[in-house]
Amino acid sequence: MNKTMIRLSPATARLALQRVLLPLLLLVNLLLLLHYVVLDYRVVTNSDSAVMNLLAQEIHDTGQWIPRAWNYANGDLWLLFTHTVIVPLLYVLPNSYALHAVSSLVTAVLVLGCVWWSGALLGQSRMARLLLLAVFSGGMSVVMAENLYGQAAYGLLFAQVCLLCCASWRFLHARGAARWGWGAGAGLLLLLLFWSNPQRALVYYGLPLALATLAMRLQPSRPEAHVFSTAGVSPQRQNTLLLALLAAALVTGTLLHNHYMNLVGNSGLAPATWLRFDEMGRNLAGTLEGLLSVLGGKPPAGKPVINAAGVWAALRLAAAATVLALLPWALRRSLRAHAPRHRGRLFFGVFTLASAAVPLFMMLATSLPDMADPQASVRYLVPALLCLIMLLGGIAVDECSWRSAPRLAGVAALSVLALSAVQAYRVQNAPGPGKLFKRAQAPRSDSHLSDFLVSHGLQYGYGEFWVAGNTTLLGRQRVRLRQIAVSDGLPQPVRHLSSDRWYQASYWSGPTFLLLTPEQMKAIDWPRMAQLLGEPERRLQYNERQVLVYPFNIASRLPLWDYAQPVPLRFPASAATGHHIGQFDPAGARLLAQPGETGWLTYGVRRNSNPGNYVATFELDSGAAAGVQAGRVEVAAAGGSVVLASAPISQAGAHNIKLPFRLSGPAPDLELRIHSNGVARLATSGTALLALDPRRVPLPTK
């Protein structure tokens, strides 16, 4: 047979790849993605993932799109997020994992749709867009699949980036009435983004869009500029209009955000601090490790190298490293794209560079990331990383030639990522594919826990964060388990991503239970618990956890739980109370400092405190004459370096001093301390802490 008859020409091979192989690979990846979201992710879902269902339920129950009793995190108001799809479905369907899967599938459609639409903005060929669809639908890695389609938060952030870029680009270059439609869409999206979180929006969207628009404005005039002009409006004027739209959204959204943040709760990370230079080097290594992990390139430690799995791990490591090495090259190519047909690539490239620069700087130079878990910390870079992969895919495929090693390497590396779906969506102990459309409960302990609690007639209780949300979601709300932690010997609400209503005595009437780990059992002050709650009605055992059942809602009797029925948390003075001066007087149950003793009479009463308004009470007895200052009382945090409130001790005899103060963020080491200046006898019988509803009881202004 003539060899020329069986030899495929490059054009024929390209056509076969575009019409057969890539669509087939895309179909397989989509089916694996469907299986992952609908069934397998239920096995590995966590309380962070369950928040979308819990917030949707709170919106449904209160009738408020921004529920006043909800405690948001990191200054985010979730206006248009993963819970949005679930809210209307709650009027016709019960809240369950099925609704979580629907929301994740909608996010997946948005992500893949934006990949295709953004490819058009970038001038990419059909083959380039098909390869990128195969890469994104394949999940790339377990971590990336979680970010994109499981918990789905960063998948939605990436989709918002693409929607904003495409709408803004169309506004700049549309004709007639269409441009005002695109302008309205871009403006509305910008308003929602700044309303949700002005700081995040400025970093991820506002500054990148401004710089990308300015880059278009600074482009030199060309003879072919008429291709991009709009009817009656010059390109320079369109750029100015877009910048004005951005400024209006920034101002309006920030005002709305500040208004609503005063009406809701908020918890967040501690303020970022600068790192030492050696710590910056550690963060650099951690960031590289995290990026390799999210691209699926981190080999399994301790596993053999010389076998099929080892060879595949080597390929994935090479592919991830190649992609990371080529991303700066692709970005540089995009920023040099001055040809008219590549101006969209320039716009998208400038946007991507700006959106990556600030998060990367914060990752390397500040305490923002937790490098104990690098693959979790690099989530801040995921939207920009995905945009860079979009740029790389178009350049590598559409400009590929045998003479260009970077382009060939890029196509090969992206092909490996596109073939990674089986590994990216692999879940330990997941049901087989045959159960895809069966109503079968995934085999995980949280599902069994809800069955166990229901079998004992229990419907409402309190447990640790990482079990509470899962049990509520996977148990289809048959049992509602609310998140707590043990602090100062007592269970305390964890208000992070939760509702204050859950801890009100009026929210639930009837028996409640505590689900406690062995560590929590050891940390509880049981004599104090008995004073407040009495003995449990029943004690049950579930694996290593203890279930303590009370015949009433324990929120009505525990301090710092119900803002509507405030019970102060008291710290009585004892010999174990931290002090530098004075002695414990058993007869008076107090710490007593004699005249001439100077220093801290009490210090170090630390507890984990949520953001909000508080009143600290100091129980004192001063031997100084009236008007003579015997010392001072303080509320401090950050190891005593930050004084939140203070007052002099200038009243004689037994009296109390009340100090109101506000926590704008979590304080893991709050102190109530008393200092004596030694001029007279000073004693204290204890201190107390009272939480006030930050939305209804504002602190008095000075």
CATH classification of the domain holding 585: 2.60.120.260
If we measure between CA atoms, which residue out of 480, 513, 517 comes closest to residue 499?
480
Map residue 659 onto helix, strand or coil.
strand
pLDDT in tens, 375-411: 888 889 999 999 999 999 999 998 877 778 888 999 9
Decide which of 556, 581, 613 is a domain's last residue. 556
Residues 456, 415, single domain; the answer is: no
**Residue 454: both structure tokens together:** 């229901």
- At 139 the pLDDT is 94
Give the other-Cβ count within 10 Å of 199's Cβ.
Answer: 14
Contacts of 293 (CB under 8 A, 6+ apart): 141, 143, 374, 375, 378
Give the other-Cβ count within 10 Å of 435's Cβ.
Answer: 15
- The identity of residue 566, as a single letter, is P
Q: Is residue 10 part of a domain?
A: no
Q: Which residue has the higher pLDDT, 6 or 9?
A: 9
Map residue 491 onto helix, strand or coil.
strand
Total domains present in the chain = 3
pLDDT in tens, 277-294: 989 999 999 999 999 999
Considering only 44-48, 105-109, 328-332, which range has the smallest mean pLDDT? 44-48
Residues 405, 510, single domain; the answer is: no
User: In angstroms, rounded to a whole number, what is the distance separating the alpha carbons of residues 516 and 481?
Assistant: 12
Residues 480, 340, single domain; the answer is: no
Q: Is residue 79 part of a domain?
A: yes
Residues 352, 449, single domain; the answer is: no
Residues 538, 449, single domain; the answer is: yes
Q: What is the average pLDDT value for the chain, to the nearest integer?
A: 88
Residues 213, 154, single domain; the answer is: yes
pLDDT in tens, 635-648: 998 888 889 999 99
| pLDDT exceeds 60 at position 7 | no
pLDDT in tens, 587-620: 889 999 999 999 999 998 777 777 888 999 999 9
| pLDDT exceeds 70 at position 4 | no
**Across 565-575, average pLDDT:** 88
Residues 480, 507, single domain; the answer is: yes
Q: Is residue 641 part of a domain?
A: yes
Q: Position of tokens 């190891």?
A: 639
| Confidence bin at 439 (pLDDT 50/70/90) | very low
Q: Are the beta carbons of 475 and 98 closer than 8 angstroms?
A: no
Q: Is residue 429 part of a domain?
A: no
Q: Which residue has the higher pLDDT, 688 or 226?
A: 688
Strand-pair category, 490-493 with 599-602: unpaired
**Across 128-145, average pLDDT:** 95
- At 437 the pLDDT is 41
Q: Which residue has the higher pLDDT, 115 or 307?
A: 115
First to last CA, the chain: 97
Q: Is residue 561 part of a domain?
A: no
**Across 38-49, average pLDDT:** 91
pLDDT in tens, 450-459: 999 999 999 9
3-state secondary structure 140-175: CCHHHHHHHHHCCHHHHHHHHHHHHHHHHHHHHHCC
Decide which of 522, 556, 590 is a domain's last residue. 556
Q: Is residue 5 part of a domain?
A: no
Residues 62, 173, single domain; the answer is: yes
Residues 546, 595, single domain; the answer is: no
pLDDT in tens, 331-357: 999 988 665 667 889 999 999 999 999
User: In angstroms, rounded to a whole number, what is the distance separating the alpha carbons of residues 245 and 262?
Assistant: 26
Q: Is residue 403 part of a domain?
A: yes
| pLDDT exceeds 50 at position 107 | yes
Q: Which residue has the higher pLDDT, 567 or 462?
A: 462
- At 3 the pLDDT is 47
From residue 311, alpha-carbon distances to 287, 303, 308, 589 in Å are: 25, 11, 5, 70
Give the other-Cβ count within 10 Å of 335's Cβ.
Answer: 16
**Across 34-55, average pLDDT:** 93
pLDDT in tens, 269-278: 667 789 899 8
From residue 577, alpha-carbon distances to 105, 169, 520, 570, 633 in Å are: 54, 64, 22, 13, 16
Decide which of 391, 424, 457 is a domain's last residue. 424
Q: Which residue has the higher pLDDT, 391 or 221?
A: 391
pLDDT in tens, 478-495: 999 999 999 888 999 999
Q: Is residue 436 part of a domain?
A: no
User: In angstroms, rounded to a whole number, what is the distance separating the alpha carbons of residues 496 and 376?
Assistant: 18
- At 217 the pLDDT is 81
Q: Are the beta carbons of 110 and 393 closer than 8 angstroms?
A: no
Q: Which residue has the higher pLDDT, 321 or 372?
A: 321
| pLDDT exceeds 80 at position 258 | yes
Q: Position of tokens 């509470």?
A: 468
- At 300 the pLDDT is 85
| pLDDT exceeds 60 at position 5 | no
| pLDDT exceeds 80 at position 432 | no
Considering only 38-47, 297-306, 647-656, which range has the smallest mean pLDDT? 297-306
Q: Are the beta carbons of 444 and 496 closer than 8 angstroms?
A: no
Containing structural domain, residue 669: 569-692
**Across 559-572, average pLDDT:** 88
Residues 349, 409, single domain; the answer is: yes
Residues 215, 327, single domain; the answer is: yes
- At 204 the pLDDT is 94
Residues 301, 415, single domain; the answer is: yes
pLDDT in tens, 115-124: 999 999 999 9
Q: Are the beta carbons of 115 and 387 closer than 8 angstroms?
A: no
**Residue 180: both structure tokens together:** 């005002």
- At 697 the pLDDT is 64
**Across 99-114, average pLDDT:** 97
